[in-house]
Structure 1
């Protein structure tokens, strides 16, 4: 398994190889932007250091998904938030762990509602959405293909 900061080689050698990075955020002002910047840097390293092709529209989707998940963590869960990014094959797994045991619930579509659409957006962009309760909170894991949609 390679870290996103690993300079050795370029690309992934096989289906079992993965590239991953993790970062903790304190939940204070600036955590959302910092998490988005972290995710953008991870994708840039996939392209640069590992020679992996990532579709241009996927970069925006990664930024949006990380931003929405970390926003929810900062808004509803006191304390630190952990963001894990892992590329396996052509799928980027984004995991956000926070201190709240409350599971997020997507609301029914309501065109007149202002706000609270973040989870709907995440679920629309990602191939998978999973929430696991942990002894100290919850972990939300989503999967996003890195190739452009056909």
Structure 2
């Protein structure tokens, strides 16, 4: 990760939080996906539980879509934060752009602008808020969704399986 600031902290209530700020120059969206994945799969020494593959994959796609939108339509540094608490994972992306994203109605003929549709389909809810220095978008992903047949936990040294 180029020019990023990384913070990871366990909370006293059993939740875990992660935050990283990416500067626009030298940034790759894959860096954000990789950072989220490393946080989610836990430590290689087994200190943190691994999450089901479907949660890791959904989170990587949500991160990719939200960060892509921040790169395309936002300004300034981008902050990616994840909060794992109880049965929910919150994915938040902040940037300095003042324009709030628009949720388009579903249209399979439309090329592009499906990011928030994808995020909403993978999340319990999506919250968009204007902030004094830009905007914040938070998607909440359920950890309690039924596990698909053949799913398993992702271990820290392996890549999520494609379906």
Matched, 1:94 2:87: no
CA contact (8 A) 1:55 1:148 kept: no
Gapped regions of structure 1 (runs ≥ 5): 7-11
- Structural mapping, 1:61-140, within 5 Å: 61-140=58-137
Question: Helix, strand or coil for the counterpart of 1:28?
Answer: coil
Q: How much has 1:147 moved relative to structure 2?
A: 3.3
1:50 is matched with 48
CA contact (8 A) 1:129 1:143 kept: yes
Listed one character per residue, the Cα deviations across residues 14-56 of structure 1 (whole Å, up to 9, x for unaligned) are xx421001000113353311100010001111794222x5221
In the superposition, the TM-score normalised over structure 2's length comes to: 0.77
Q: How much has 1:140 moved relative to structure 2?
A: 0.7
Distance in structure 1 (CA, Å) of the matches to 2:121 and 2:144: 16
In the superposition, the TM-score normalised over structure 1's length comes to: 0.83
Gapped regions of structure 2 (runs ≥ 5): 1-6, 148-163
Coordinate RMSD, CA, aligned: 2.2
Distance in structure 1 (CA, Å) of the matches to 2:9 and 2:130: 30
Distance in structure 2 (CA, Å) of the matches to 1:49 and 1:25: 27
Question: Helix, strand or coil for the counterpart of 1:101?
Answer: coil
Distance in structure 1 (CA, Å) of the matches to 2:9 and 2:47: 8
1:35 is matched with 32
Q: More helix per residue: 1 or 2?
A: 1
Question: Helix, strand or coil for the counterpart of 2:35?
Answer: helix
CA contact (8 A) 2:100 2:128 kept: yes
Change (3 A) 1:78 1:4: closer
Change (3 A) 1:46 1:18: farther
CA contact (8 A) 1:22 1:85 kept: yes
